[in-house]
Structure 1
């Protein structure tokens, strides 16, 4: 199975005609098998430690300390990763050198994390809608 097509799908236009996702990755999170299955260049440096932290049972420290994805510091907006029907973490990056922040959504299927970083002008809702569609499909096929 090629996961690259999922990355390509995430980076297509949404119903508004805008392309809300700039970078995407699909990572396995089964214990001992944490790895990147596919990614665009901007998220190719996601580490095993970052994957483990994203899927840990206790993510309460994210509210104060934040979390890193591919070395990018993010603050937690909403944690619904283990909530039926949602399965997502909504994050916002720290400001870059130009003062820009970006929405990031992490979705969780049975075996994979779907991670998308938005474009500068994308809303968190646009990014999470793209992730949700992929996660919903992966959950339906037990992936």
Structure 2
């Protein structure tokens, strides 16, 4: 019995070490995307949580893998995965909010994100939004009304660096 388990583990190791195993790695990682959402929603170094909503979405299929506090449509995800040059003239909708682009660092090495500001809601509040890109996913974080764009984007920086470094 133990010999069979060891053979299975060794074959699994070989499979995960091969370049063709990217799909399975993404599938297994996808099962735990909610833990990334939960991590982003924690307090920052000031002790406050600057994030009110997060969604992690697939670049292929444009589906939401995990989220908290935001409903992002496949059309919104598709737009965010497309060419960002058009956002300068006509910003995208994110979670139903019309947004205007502040900074486009989507293709900038080490940053891989775009910063937005929402239009005012019914109470007159606007929110900073950071959309960050891994190789396979788009992570959308919307700040609280008090949060600055820097607070929102800094919550994504470590996770984006980790996921890109892991080939995801």
Give the TM-score normalised by structure 2: 0.79
Q: Secondary structure at the match of 2:130?
A: strand
In 2, Cα distance between the equivalents of 1:63 and 1:78? Answer: 9
User: How many angstroms does 1:63 deviate by?
Assistant: 1.4
Aligned: 1:37 with 2:84 = no
Deviation beyond 4 Å, 4+ runs, structure 1: none
Bigger Cα Rg: 2
Looking at secondary structure, tell me which structure has more helix per residue. 2
Match for residue 64 of structure 1?
A: 89
User: How many angstroms does 1:55 deviate by?
Assistant: 1.5
Give the TM-score normalised by structure 1: 0.92
User: How many angstroms does 1:137 deviate by?
Assistant: 1.0
Deviates more, 1:131-140 or 1:87-96: 131-140
Q: Which of structures 1 and 2 has the larger relative contact order (alpha carbons within 8 angstroms, sep 6+)?
A: 1
Residue among 26, 41, 45 paired with 1:11: 41
Q: How many residues align?
A: 138
1:14-93 superposed matches below 5 A: 14-30=44-60, 33-40=61-68, 42-44=69-71, 46-56=72-82, 58-93=83-118
Question: What whole-Å deviation, never above 9, does each CA across 1:25-70 have from its counterpart, x for those lacking one?
Answer: 100102xx22100001x322x12221121121x3222112111112
Looking at secondary structure, tell me which structure has more strand per residue. 1
Q: 5+ unaligned residues in a row in structure 1: which ranges?
A: none
Q: What is the RMSD computed on CA atoms of the aligned residues?
A: 1.0
